[in-house]
Amino acid sequence: MKKLQKEDIKQEVFDLYDAYAHNKLERREFVERLSMFAVGSITVPALLSFLMPDYETTRRIAADDPNLDSKFITYNSPKGGGEIKALLSKPKNTTEKLGGIVVVHENRGLNPYIEDTARIAALEGFITIAPDALSPLGGYPGNDDDGRAMQRIKRQQRDA
């Protein structure tokens, strides 16, 4: 069977995933509606595997890259979320002044992709900090579905 390509998938599928990723659909409704696009050799699991993040095989920089000084820190944000966990990264063995980048995640929390993005920028000569806005709720839970749910809770608390 040939590998699924972007060209094989209708734009409506990407629009559907976008609605799901931005908390406009629950997972159950997302999968039910996704099944309408499963025809022939394109199955729901094939569509899901194409759409959902694959952090392990897409990582570009190892967490323990020897060229980086990278560690998790916690800082206080008294007018924000309280105690915030963040990944702080910078090139190792540099004495020059470096610019800084704040790497901000969307609704999933400080997931492996955001961590990787921060490390990539650090290898390019920046000090990076990637905070986890889900810290007050326990931090990124290790999967995007629970991260989306936590972000929804945080938004509800903010808006209350």
Tens-place pLDDT, residues 8-52: 888 999 999 888 877 788 889 998 999 888 877 788 888 888 787
Query: Across all residues in the chain, what is the average pLDDT?
Result: 86
Angle between helices 11-21 and 27-34 (to 10 degrees): 170
* Fold of the CATH domain 68-159: Rossmann fold (3.40.50)
At 3, the pLDDT band (50, 70, 90 cuts) reads: confident
| 95 compared with 155, residue with greater pLDDT | 95
| CATH 3.40.50.1820 location in the chain | 68-159
Question: Is the pLDDT score of 1 beyond 70?
Answer: no
Q: Which two tokens stand for residue 45?
A: 């699991």
The whole-number average pLDDT for the span 126-141 is 89
List Cα–Cα distances, 45 to 27, 57, 95, 111, in angstroms: 14, 18, 50, 22
pTM equals 0.72
The fraction of the chain above a pLDDT of 90, given in percent, is 40
Cα 94 to Cα 28: distance, rounded to the nearest angstrom = 49
Q: What is the pLDDT of residue 61?
A: 94
Q: What is the pLDDT of residue 67?
A: 97
Question: Is the pLDDT score of 156 beyond 90?
Answer: no
